[in-house]
Amino acid sequence: MKIRSIQIIYAISILTAVFFVIIAFLPNNILRVILGLPLVLFFPGYLLMSAFFHKNSSLDGIQKTAFSFVVSIAVVPIMLFILNYSPWGITLYSGLIAITIFIFVASVIAWFRQRKLPEEQKHNTIIDLTLCGKKTSLSKIISLVLAMVIIVTVGILIYTIANPRTNEKYTEFYIVGSDGNTNGYPTNLKFGDTGKVVLGIINREQSLTQYQIEININGTSNGTFGPITLKPDQKSENEVSFIPEMAGDNQEVNFILYKDGQNEPYLSLHLWIDVS
């Protein structure tokens, strides 16, 4: 089967636009990864080769495909490295937009250079699935090896997607002032005043988890808060208050987090206050 180079350029441009819409607007993470693979691993390298090596060459379709993977693997990390130092940083959408723009720019350059070729050179073969004919034995061996490398690489990627590594299980526990800033802690109080802070919890335990918070000052219980039930990756921020029972400097206020009804503290935070 033989396909003209410019037809492949058209097809990649259309697929890129379709994949962009699906990845950007659909929430299915697995589908995003599957459609993102050609955007990251094949399209950029293929179009870059088509743009700068647009004339007939000694490479057959399988060899060009393999080198397209290699070029993509070299180009995309450079784009992401540059993006990391830009105002947008590296996110799903910034990376998707950058790669899409690169693909469309390379498509235009490749299309323009293909159109500038003499008529007799416009019908160069991009995909040739015929393993017989004028190919030498060495060329056939190289093509088969490269095809096997591509198949193994894609197989490893599919396996990795289907069997993701289990992430570490933990809980984020933090404290901020009642105004939401880390410099708004109530460190100076008058006797009888109420101190207020905001305690934040983010559940990274990968399962439904229940939390309870105990507040104590200098080792003496000063109240509890909860229970708080959070789904995986769900965040909760709650304002809690405490009232010192005596005057004095350098009093330690402890916020102790318990998980799933356990008696042993899971995490703890502390705040030093002066009470006049």
Q: How far is CA 93 from CA 23, 83, 164, 172, 219, in A?
A: 9, 11, 22, 26, 48
Per-residue pLDDT for 161 more than 70?
no
Distance CA 165, CA 167 (A): 6
Contact 11, 73 (CB under 8 A): no
Position 133 scores a pLDDT of 47
Output the six-digit token pair for 226.
Answer: 């909860």
Q: How far is CA 4 from the centre of its chain?
A: 35
Q: Which alpha helices (DSSP H) does 163-273 contain, by range?
A: none
Is the pLDDT reported for residue 131 higher than 50?
A: no
Mean pLDDT of 73-77: 80
Cβ–Cβ under 8 Å, residues 102 and 77: no
The pLDDT tens digits for 6-29 are 778 888 889 889 988 888 887 666
CA distance 88 to 178: 30
Considering the chain, what is the average pLDDT of its residues? Answer: 78
Tens-place pLDDT, residues 99-129? 899 989 888 888 887 776 665 555 444 455 4
Name the residue ranges covered by the structural domains of the chain: 2-162, 170-275
User: Strand 209-217 relative to strand 248-259: parallel, antiparallel, unpaired?
Assistant: antiparallel
pLDDT computed for residue 258 by the predictor: 94
CATH architecture of the domain formed by 170-275:
Sandwich (2.60)
Quick one: pLDDT at residue 33? 77
Examine the pLDDT at 212 and tell me if it is beyond 90: yes
- Per-residue pLDDT at 117: 65
- Inform me whether the pLDDT recorded for 145 exceeds 80: no
| Distance of alpha carbon 34 from alpha carbon 10, whole angstroms | 21
Structural tokens at position 28 = 């299915």
In this structure, of 84-98, 203-217, 238-252, the range with the lowest mean pLDDT score is 84-98
> Given this model, what pLDDT does residue 254 score?
93
Local confidence band at 159 (pLDDT 50, 70, 90 cut-offs):
low
Q: Which tokens belong to 63?
A: 């060899």
Helix (H, G, I), strand (E, B) or coil at 100: helix
Q: How far is it, in rounded angstroms, from Cα 196 to Cα 199?
A: 10
How much is the pLDDT for 257? 94
Block residue for tokens 């304002």: 239
Buried b (16+ CB within 10 A) or exposed e, 194-210: ebebbbebbbebeeebe
Residue 150: per-residue pLDDT: 61
Cβ–Cβ under 8 Å, residues 55 and 124: yes
Q: What is the DSSP letter of 119?
A: G
* pTM of the model as a whole: 0.46
Q: With 60 as the cut, is the pLDDT of residue 36 above it?
A: yes
For the chain, where are the E strands, in sequence order?
Answer: 2-4, 125-128, 170-177, 188-189, 195-204, 209-217, 220-230, 235-242, 248-259, 267-275
What would the two tokens of residue 116 be?
A: 């500038």
Closest CA to 224 of 255, 197, 245: 255
In sequence order, which residues have a C-beta less than 8 Å from that of residue 3 and are 6 or more positions away?
Answer: 125, 126, 127
Q: Tell me, what's the pLDDT at 129?
A: 46
Distance of alpha carbon 232 from alpha carbon 208, whole angstroms: 6
194 Cβ partners below 8 Å, 6+ apart? 241, 242, 243
Q: What's the pLDDT at 229?
A: 93
- Residue 154 in this model has a pLDDT that exceeds 70: no
pLDDT of residue 201: 94
% of the chain exceeding 90 in pLDDT: 18
Q: What is the β-pairing status of strands 267-275 and 188-189?
A: parallel
